[in-house]
Amino acid sequence: MSIALLDPAPAANTAMPSRTELTVLGMTCAACVRRIETALKRVDGVADAAVNLATGSATIKHAPSTQAGALRGAIEAAGYQVLEASAPRARLAALERAADLEHRGLVRDLVFAAALTAPLLILAMSHGALPGSGGLRGAWLQFSLATPVVFGAGRRFLVHAWQAARRGSSDMNTLIALGALAAWSYSTVALASATWNRASAHAVAPHAYFEAAAAIVAFVLLGKLLEGRARRRLGDAVRRLHDLVPAHAHLLDAQGTHDVALDDLRAGDRVLVRPGERVPADGVVEHGASAVDEALLTGESLPVEKLPGSTVVGGARNGSGALQVRLTHTGADTAVARIVEAVERAQGSRAPIARFADAASARFVPIVLGLALVTFALGWLVEPTAAGAALALERAVAVLVIACPCALGLATPAAVAVATGRGAELGVLYKGGAALEAAARLDTVFLDKTGTLTAGEPRLVGLHAIDGDEALLLARAAAVELSSEHPIAHAIVTAARERGLEPRASAKFASRPGAGIAATVDGVRVRIGTSTWLAEAGIASGPLDAETERAAALGQSPFFVAYDDRLAGWLAIADPITADARVALRALRAAGVEVALLSGDRDATARA
């Protein structure tokens, strides 16, 4: 008997594709994106390449055998720079340095261009009304002002256009360079011809467009400067996420406590987190108790109580207690690092609508060049004179400059980057551009209650003592809650102090998250929590169920209190709904979106 394996998978195909992220410098328009993607896809083993103009990132999916050097080499061969930095913080710092360098260069060139273009425009628009601005002398003065602008401040456009032409392609720089050079070249030739034919200083100067050539460079430089500032703001969300994690940590070892850089931490290290500080990396609490604000990860505005054995995440802010934490994940393996990676990946992803922009921009520059040539030809055919040629050139230059495809290639990726970055700041993570675009078609939204619809500031709004001694009930409850860092505990302690009841010391404190707490006060074992928490001690909450249900119907969260083995009363906590939440809910419903509530409270409280 023989056995055959049906459709076996080849071993070579079992390897998962690798993914490489590179930061690219020097891109100016959608044509640059297309050029880099084409170059990367020609590398052996590359399955797909996606380049984002707004974030300056290139995401490449390739076979494990493909070397990173080959990917960098393909980008550099296409005429662009690849940022050499591996660690997220180092890469971000290097990217900021490159952006600052480019910003300073743009400011320098813009100031230089504006300083020469402003008097040039005044001379050109005066039409000889100013002394010395008319005739050949005025034309040569315009030439002397325009030439440094075109070939000095505008050199970057000429160089990029030449590099694109050498590779047999065209981009935004091609349009700018052709527009500026056409206006400058025509004016220079006309001026030289007039000077040759009429050497007199009083000769009539030809119609020149030196001011147009300089203005093209100056205004595009201003646009590039504003665009650069917009791009730098795209990274603000990622930078703020990085800033959630401290740069240093208090390492505990045999020699004591000393500060080390975050990059030097390893899984298994023990660190001290002092009150008010942020946790440096993911780990488990070994000693201490505190309330930790984990809103960056959970969106929950109320701090979470942490006891020995509790897990904490890097970037979470510690409350008033000191914690000793044994680290389980550091560096790129932490929750914050994965959030940053998700945000960067989402910012670099393409929305489906971007495919239309990419397809249009791929054919845009050649079409614009053709339209400019047709415009010039038709203008000259209509009026085949020197004046007609000048007018035709002016209109052709206008077509070249106005039709620059910068916005076409930048608008969609910039919108995705801004939306995902702003969402991350507010605790909303988008998987990518496709998810962001699909959000416009949502018909149902699920909202968390505490801290999302409510203010996240609970306060005591009601209490009842079976024996009538509400002051004793509150005093004992505050004594128990004094050992807890939970915001509800803070609300009870604050209410007691407002009534002149200073909490006393307690002993044998015990807590179970989501159930309740217990401690011994004046020899009495006091329990505070849910009916299940009391039932475990054999205490029935039935006599007070009707009262607590009425409190819950008012939107309050009731908790039972027991002394030793008997029911003593209840406390009610409320977290008020914010005005912003009411406005948001009305806006969602007006947009036809159904709103549902997710809450850990009892059904009556949530519905209230």
Q: Which residues are catalytic?
A: 448
Among all chains, which residue has been given the structure tokens 């409280």? 605
Which parts of 127-171 fold into alpha helices (H)?
A: 135-148, 155-166
Record the tokens describing residue 605, joined without a space.
């409280």
Contact present, 418 and 436 (Cβ < 8 Å) = no
Record the tokens describing residue 15, joined without a space.
């390897």
3-state secondary structure of 313: coil
3-state secondary structure of 272: strand
Distance in angstroms (rounded) separating the CA atoms of residues 473 and 481: 12
Contact present, 416 and 564 (Cβ < 8 Å) = no
Distance in angstroms (rounded) separating the CA atoms of residues 273 and 319: 10
For residue 448, the tally of other CB atoms under 10 A from its CB is 16
For residue 126, the tally of other CB atoms under 10 A from its CB is 13
Distance in angstroms (rounded) separating the CA atoms of residues 153 and 220: 11
Among all chains, which residue has been given the structure tokens 């394996």? 5
Distance in angstroms (rounded) separating the CA atoms of residues 73 and 82: 9
Distance in angstroms (rounded) separating the CA atoms of residues 280 and 244: 9
| Residue 64, Cβ density class (10 Å: 0-12 exposed, 13-18 middle, ≥19 buried) | exposed
User: Comparing C-alpha atoms, which of 447, 506, 513 is closest to residue 482?
Assistant: 506
